[in-house]
Amino acid sequence: MHKSGDVILGGLFPVHFFSSVPDLSFTSQPQQPSCHGFYVQGFRQAQTMAFAVDEINNNSNLLPNVTVGYTLYDNCAELRIGFRGALSLASGQEEQIILHNTCVGKPPVLAIVGETSSTRSIAISSVLGLYRVPMVSYFATCSCLTDRQKYPSFFRTIPSDAFQVRAMIQILKHFGWTWAGLLITDDDYGLHAARSLQSELSLSGEGCLAYVEVLPWDKDTDELRRIVDVMKKSTARVVIAFVHLSHMINLIEEVAKQNVTGLQWLASEGWTATGAVLQTPELMPYLGGTLGIAIRRGEIPGLREFLLKTRPDLHHNNNYGNSMVRFWEFTFQCRFSPAPPGWMEGGGALCTGQEDLENVNTKFLDVSNLRPEYNVYKAVYALAYALDDMLQCKPRRGPFSGHSCGTLQSLEPWQLLYYLERVNFSTPFGDQVSFDENGDVVPIYDVMNWLWLPDGSTKVQNVGEVKRSTFKDEEIILDEDKIFWNFQSKKPVRSVCSESCPPGTHMVRKKGEPKCCFDCIPCSEGKCTSCPEDFWSNPQSDQCVPKKTEFLSYLEPLGICLTAASLLGTFICTVILGIFIYHRRTPIVRANNSELSFQLLLSLKLCFLCSLLFIGRPRMWTCQLRHAAFGISFVLCVSCILVKTIVVLAVFKASKPGGGTSLKWFGVTQQRGTVLCLTSIQAAICTTWLVSSSPTPYKNTQYQNDKIVYECTVGSTVGFAVLLGYIGILAVLSFLIAFLARNLPDSFNEAKLITFSMLIFCAVWVAFVPVYISSPGNYADAVEVFAILASSFGLLITLFGPKCYIILMRPEINTKKALMGRDTKKF
């Protein structure tokens, strides 16, 4: 087909299925190859390009004052024929023919729309790429064509097989099909798809291939019988077919002959939506329910009206050649005169060329399911928009050497290639068309289902889509309620090599078979999958049950006792504080700075209360607060004791002649400042510890496998050691000073009480360290709580017990005279 114009676009379309190439003996002039098996859809694709060109020429906003023409060749689905056609289009070298009796020959084309086959596209684009002649395929899907080093001028309006393979895997994953057979064609389309599918399955671990069979190019009955026999014997119920329609026709005839049913076919875009010849009552019992990947469906307004104008008498025979004649004869089942011998005798009709396409049932006029045609339409418009962008270039602002622009008079294909890489437009159907750095479009596929209706008719329906967005990987959307399953259960078939192992067993891979094939061995004989961290196997090893949890709880007896002791100590401190406040003017309360006694009681109350933070399930805030509260409370307590001890010495020295100045340097203000300063140091230690390496909750499973012990990690062992060490230093210092002052002559010598209390305190915490380190789990918390309570009760009883006894039981000696040892009564 040819149409003259200022710019000529080439096209390669499979108007015939099969070809007969003569034997090249090199002893005689070779005959021209003959094509047979008229392909209506291929002829409609060629007509779609002609329609798109006419539509562009009638569009005043696109390429104004430029007429686009075309030259279209039938490749007959044969590499040698398609390759020869492409070279003729690019070079313009062919036999002389007359067009409209006005001009001779056909000019070389600016770009080519085609090919359908990946193999033919590889061969043709590898040559066209040398001259940077753009080639826009509407059906070649091989992922190998994304290599811009090998194919720099190749583009396509159909997604590559790399995406189609991932779309297939998404469908397999969705239905849980982990065991499938693969049929491919012996060309780049099939071989690259097989390699990509095996690689993706291996990486994703989503399934295995039971077999990989390569379909023969010709109708090799023995080979087809062998392949179908493999399919029958295999346990795989899902068959993936990356094949061309012509190969599928030969295969399915053998499948029907051997009556192989119960298979779920998963079709590639090569035959999903274009396999009308397979949708017959004889073959649908085997192919009904087929799921397949299909090219995105589109709508082309006005195409049907254009197709209705197709008539053999409207065009010169040289324009349409034998293809137009064969289309007409194929559609109306007639023959043009002169008819073949025996045609009329057999009752055949003669074609007049006046038959009405409206009155015949033909797929040619069915524009409800435009898929390859839609890609052809987009390919032609991509070239037109690129050409339009190039012709709108302003002089001295162009992208070429010296900022030059391409002109219609000196137009070169490589100039169009520059703009084609940057083209971006929307179709009337609303789809955005642009090419990435590899010449690919944004991938999207429809998922189709072959529906076999009760009346015997068939329908190919859309049941979902697979697409990839900018920010996501492949995403599949399926309407399972619409899917027709060609099985008695009316449900998806189950296709696995080995069923999942039941609980209590584990997988052992079968020798020499894919990883999806395995035996199930009882757990007692091998290694089972471990339960999650928080679970443990039951005695039968067939179920994961939650592990028991353990921590120092308020509800267990030990926790209740410790909580009661803590609250009791707090209550006693409160009572003693009340007693001291009530008797605050008595000598025994006022002795040695009553304010320090009140601070000491408050700090002891905090010591009792901080022990409650060690009880209950550890949380982040309790883990961080427990040691900080413990450290600061005890330092406050021991600081008060240390200051009281120093005050005892100062008072004694002040009572001696000339010692009145001893209290001046350690008055009330200095006492408060000392307590605050010593406590601030501990607060700084705690802050540094929490900021640098804070204690955190931890689930410990090392003590017992079937039990989770909740505990707090100290975070920094150094921080914890410094905290305890600082308390120990203050306690030892208090003990030493009190020990030196134990023999002072007062009747009520508080230094003795402090010495005894510090002895108890140090003994408790010295014993605590080894016991704490060796105590497992929640017992470590119990040991620390016990140490806190024991030391607190020791301080409370030894420091305030005797004073309360005097206040409550011996008020007569609660006088200054008695306390100074001037009363003859002893106590």
- Determine the residue type at 106: K
Name the pTM for this structure: 0.59
Instruction: Tell me, yes or no, whether 526 and 402 share the same domain.
Output: no
Farthest-apart Cα atoms in the chain, separation? 158
Q: Residue 162: in which H helix or E strand, if any?
A: helix 161-175
CA distances from 215 to 218, 235, 250, 283, 480 (A): 9, 20, 9, 19, 31
Which of 211, 141, 212, 209 shows the shortest CA–CA distance to 169?
209
Residues 386 and 329 occupy one common structural domain: no
Amino acid at 243: V
Angle 184-289-370 from CA coordinates, rounded to 5°: 75
Q: Does one domain contain both 336 and 383?
A: no
Contact 183, 213 (CB under 8 A): yes
Structural domain includes residue 117: yes
Q: Does residue 498 lie in a domain region?
A: no
Q: Are residues 420 and 529 in the same domain?
A: no
- Domain assignment of residue 369, yes or no: yes
643 and 757 both lie in a single domain: yes
Residue 604: which of 474, 468, 799, 738 has the closest Cα?
799
pLDDT of residue 745: 58
Residue 50's region, left for phi above 0, alpha for psi from -120 to 50, else beta, is: alpha
Q: Which CA distances in Å does 594 have to 597, 599, 757, 810?
A: 5, 9, 18, 19
| Among candidate residues 273, 319, 297, 10, the one with its CA nearest the CA of residue 137 | 10
Cβ neighbours for 715, distance < 8 A, ≥ 6 positions apart: 689, 693, 694, 695, 696
Contact 159, 141 (CB under 8 A): yes
- Determine the Cα–Cα distance for residues 19 and 11; give it in Å rounded to an integer: 19
CA distances from 819 to 372, 588, 659, 755 (A): 112, 8, 20, 19
- Among the candidates 416, 434, 452, a domain finishes at 434
Place of tokens 């291929």: 42
Q: Is residue 56 within 8 Å of residue 7, measured between CB atoms?
A: no
User: Are 376 and 517 in the same domain?
Assistant: no
Burial of 399 (0-12, 13-18, 19+ CB in 10 A): middle
Residue 256 lies in a domain: no
Instruction: Please tell me whether residues 570 and 717 are part of one structural domain.
Output: yes
Using an 8 Å Cβ cutoff, are 245 and 214 in contact? no
Which residue range forms the structural domain that includes residue 756?
557-656+664-820
Distances (CA, A) of 159 to 12, 401, 440, 441, 803: 19, 34, 7, 6, 93
Peptide bond into 115 cis (omega under 30): yes
Write out the two tokens for 744: 């002072």
Q: Is 811 helix (H, G, I), strand (E, B) or coil?
A: helix
Measured in whole angstroms, the distance separating CA 339 from the mean position of its chain's CA atoms is 64
Residue 580 lies in a domain: yes
Residue 485: the pLDDT is 92
Q: Give the tokens for residue 208.
A: 């295995």
Pair 582, 612 in one domain: yes
Round to whole Å and give the CA distance between 53 and 379.
11
Say which CATH number the domain at 727 has. Answer: 1.20.1070.10
pLDDT for the residue 827:
39
Cβ atoms of 210 and 179 within 8 Å: the answer is yes
Q: Provide the 3-class DSSP secondary structure of residue 709.
A: strand
How high is the pLDDT of residue 73? Answer: 92
Same domain? 618 vs 726 = yes
- Looking at the structure, tell me whether residues 336 and 412 fall in a common domain: no
Spell out the residues 6+ positions from residue 805 whose beta carbon is closer than 8 angstroms to its own.
none
Q: At what angle do helices 668-692 and 594-610 cross, to 10 degrees?
A: 20
Q: Please give the helix or strand (H or E) that residue 415 lies within, else none.
A: helix 413-420
Q: What is the pLDDT of residue 136?
A: 96
Backbone φ and ψ of 377, nearest 5°: -60, -45
Within a domain: 224: no
Assess if residue 794 is contained within a domain. yes
CATH number of domain containing 10: 3.40.50.2300
Angle subtended by helix axes 40-57 and 317-332, to nearest 10: 130
Half-sphere exposure of 148 (CA within 13 A, CB side): 9
**Rounded distance, CA 398 to CA 410, Å?**
14
Residue 55 falls inside a structural domain:
yes
Q: Are residues 594 and 742 in the same domain?
A: yes
Q: Please answer whether residues 570 and 605 qualify as being in contact, where contact means their C-beta atoms are separated by less than 8 angstroms.
A: yes
Question: What are the per-10-residue average pLDDT scores of the chain (827 residues)?
Answer: 90 88 77 83 93 95 92 90 91 55 58 90 94 93 90 93 88 92 90 89 87 89 93 93 88 92 91 79 89 89 91 52 78 86 85 86 86 94 94 87 84 90 89 89 89 84 82 78 90 90 79 86 67 77 79 84 90 89 81 76 89 85 85 88 78 58 63 86 88 83 74 82 88 81 59 80 82 74 86 86 84 70 46
Q: Exposure pattern of 43-64 as b/e (b: 16+ CB <10 Å)?
A: bbbbbbbbbbbebbbeeeebbe
Same domain, 84 and 123: yes
Question: Do the Cβ atoms of 111 and 416 come closer than 8 Å?
Answer: yes
CA 2 to chain centre: 50
Structural contact between residues 167 and 160, judged by C-beta atoms closer than 8 angstroms: no
Structurally, the chain folds into a number of domains equal to 4
Tokens describing residue 195: 């390699």
| CA pair distance 731, 136, nearest whole angstrom | 89
